[in-house]
């Protein structure tokens, strides 16, 4: 049978709204499942709005072995720390320039942020183009390992 008006509108004002004893429809157990089964039929608007995975898997994640992680250091840091590195014995002094091997510090690339105030001979596996230029302008040398 099809109702012309909704049952809730007819029953408005009654204590149990057609549910029998008021104790029977009290708990959350009467609400039914809150699971994700049938999300295309129930809670569909929620699914579209909030569930990030409802369109299935997509994309590709590269294996960690393939990803080359670079640990860079800036020229400004090397310039500031050069005297301390000399005192610790990590860097050496050859003539007028200080020789720093960045692999001893745990770095594998030199970037060109900052300026050099003194001539540094820097040994590194990689240099950025701007870093090489700044090292040579300061009278130093960039040695690729």
pLDDT at 109: 92
Other C-beta atoms closer than 10 Å to the C-beta of 118 total 13
- Dump pLDDT digits (tens) for 33-62: 777 778 878 888 888 888 877 766 677 889
DSSP code string of 55-107: T---S----TTT-----EEEHHHHHHHHHHHHHHTSSEEETTEEEEETTTTT-
Residue 88 C-beta-side C-alpha neighbours within 13 Å: 10
pTM of the shown model: 0.55
Averaged pLDDT for residues 64-69:
90
Separation CA 131–CA 114 (nearest Å): 9
Does the structural domain 72-144 have CATH classification 3.10.129.10? no
Separation CA 40–CA 32 (nearest Å): 16
Contacts of 7 (CB under 8 A, 6+ apart): 17, 18
- Dump pLDDT digits (tens) for 77-123: 988 888 888 888 888 888 888 888 888 888 999 998 888 888 888 89
Q: Show me where the domains of the chain are located.
A: 72-144
pLDDT at 66: 92
């Amino acid at each position: 049978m099809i109702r012309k008006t909704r049952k809730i509108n007819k029953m408005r004002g009654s204590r149990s709204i057609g549910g029998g004893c008021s104790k029977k429809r009290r708990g959350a157990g009467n609400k039914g499942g809150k699971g994700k089964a049938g999300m295309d039929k129930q809670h569909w608007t929620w699914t579209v709005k909030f569930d990030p995975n409802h369109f299935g898997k997509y994309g590709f994640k590269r294996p960690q072995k393939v990803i080359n992680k670079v640990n860079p250091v800036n020229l400004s840091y090397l310039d500031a720390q050069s005297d301390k590195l000399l005192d610790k014995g990590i860097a050496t002094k050859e003539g007028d320039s200080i020789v720093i091997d960045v692999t001893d510090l745990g770095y594998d690339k030199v970037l060109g942020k900052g300026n050099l105030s003194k001539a540094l001979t820097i040994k590194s596996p990689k240099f950025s183009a701007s870093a090489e230029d700044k090292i040579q302008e300061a009278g130093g040398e960039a040695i690729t390992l």
